[in-house]
Amino acid sequence: MSDLNVLLVVYAFPPCGGVGVLRAASLARYLPAEGIRLDVLTTRNPSSVGMDLSLLDEIPPEVTIHRTITLDLPFSIKKRLKRLVTGAKPPTSQANGAVPAGKLNFLKRAIQDLLLPDPQVTWLPVLTRAARRIIRERKIDLVLITGAPYSNYLLAERLRKSYPYLPIVLDFRDEWISTCFEAAAFQFSRSERARSFAIEAEAAAVASATIVVAVTEGARREIRARYPHDPEDKYQLIPNGFDSTRIYRSASSPVIQSDRKIVVTYIGSIYASTEPTMLVQALQSLPLEVKSRLKLRFIGHIEEPRYREALLQLGDMVQLEGYLPQPAALAAMNEADYALLITHDRLNVSAKFYDYIGAGKPILGCVHPLGDVRRLIEELHAGWWADSRDTEAIRQLFMDVATGGNALLGSYRPDQKMIAQYERKVLAQRYASLLHSIAEHGLDALPGQSAETGE
């Protein structure tokens, strides 16, 4: 197997932190050992929730990183802009001097029309020029474009016009159309114009792609169903995973002493598809003696002030710690008795789920009852779940935790053999095999879909 020259296009890359960079970072870490000479094209100044230098330290020196400037706004300014566009209320301290409604609506429409499909589209002109130069100068054999942001995928059509025979892989870290316009997980703009633009842009990108890769079976089927005339093998599945070199796994079962609180820790951002309103209502309804036994720690960025305000209603039960670099966040997870997972998303699986199972932490899931997360919790025996929109079910879940004590923890028996298939090095090897097959033989040589890795 000869070396394959691959260009990985990703908006945010280490030293940026957060769960959004981990898929690309793990590919950059492990693909070079699989016969791939990797170039990474990314931004010099991405909007990011924080920095994590440890992620950059793990990238092999033979990976060539190309960083270009982007006109995207800093993270804090972008959040203010999003509140303006979506109509979310700012904190009380920022409410003075509000823009008159007429001007606000005009500005909202102007921004929505200009920045489609998302604010990161401002990177596209620079991205296109840089990608063409790197393809030419570095003799690239295959381009792998990963997102979100979804504007990254607009590059595919531009490259296809310049390079008719170049293999192009679209890696959907999140499904696009249903996630944005039905589940409303990302809400920069949900207008009819934005929907029409997204539908046309995705179709053009998929038509320009050799292969489309999804990270959950639900997302793969959703995307594939929109293009029924395409061959089935054009739509492949390679899930996210965990990195065993970063996660400490305790060899002994946790024991909860009667004189200490039960610690339940949530790692990651709180945003629309993980909003905690129902969880808060359920916890508030618990008996006082049960509340006194629970401590919930939230580690990560909280996108909307209203989500923070809702969590703070839990008083002494809750501890909000903000963003931490991944090593510190994983250390906090290891200190917990249970790992908390909140998702109203039917199609996508949070990256934190894989860190939870990799660390052997029993999951308390408030999840979509028909989603892939629920299915994976059950298949991997990874914990217990309740419908994320059912306050009574959530209440009962935490009652079981508080009253079950060590007996409940003792019943936790995860399927370690199935979980091992989600280790990032193993998944990178699968991805490398897929990329080599595409480059050497085209679509005809690709394997069909199967039940591998539990998907």
Instruction: Give domain limits for the chain.
Output: 4-241+423-454, 262-418
Which of the given ranges, 207-221, 237-251, 395-409, has the highest pLDDT on average?
A: 207-221
For 31, residues 6+ apart whose C-beta sits below 8 A from its C-beta are 6, 38, 428, 431, 432, 435
Identify the pLDDT of residue 446: 55
- In the numeric block, which tokens belong to residue 253? 């079962």
The Cα–Cα gap between 436 and 231 comes to 19
Q: Which CATH architecture has domain 262-418?
A: 3-Layer(aba) Sandwich (3.40)
Among residues 316, 313, 318, 308, which one has the least CA distance to residue 284? 313
Q: In what order do the strands lie in the sheet with 363-367?
A: 318-322, 294-299, 262-267, 338-342, 363-367, 383-387
Quickly state the pLDDT bin for 64 (edges 50, 70, 90).
very high
User: How do residues 155-197 score in pLDDT, each as one tens digit?
Assistant: 999 999 999 999 999 999 999 998 888 765 555 566 888 899 9
Q: Which has the higher per-residue pLDDT, 80 or 290?
A: 290
User: How do residues 253-281 score in pLDDT, each as one tens digit?
Assistant: 566 766 689 999 999 889 888 999 999 99
Identify the pLDDT of residue 283: 97
Residue type, 205: A
User: How do residues 48-58 score in pLDDT, each as one tens digit?
Assistant: 767 888 889 99
Which CATH superfamily, name and number, covers 4-241+423-454? Glycogen Phosphorylase B; (3.40.50.2000)
Count of other CB atoms within 10 angstroms of residue 361? 27
Across 82-86, 95-99, 278-282, 323-327, least confident range: 95-99
Mean pLDDT of all residues in the chain?
A: 86
For 451, residues 6+ apart whose C-beta sits below 8 A from its C-beta are none
Q: Which has the higher per-residue pLDDT, 92 or 107?
A: 107
- Assess contact for 39 and 73: CB atoms under 8 A: no
Quickly state the pLDDT bin for 237 (edges 50, 70, 90).
very high
Average pLDDT over residues 323-345: 89
Examine the pLDDT at 104 and tell me if it is beyond 80: no
The Cα–Cα gap between 49 and 37 comes to 29
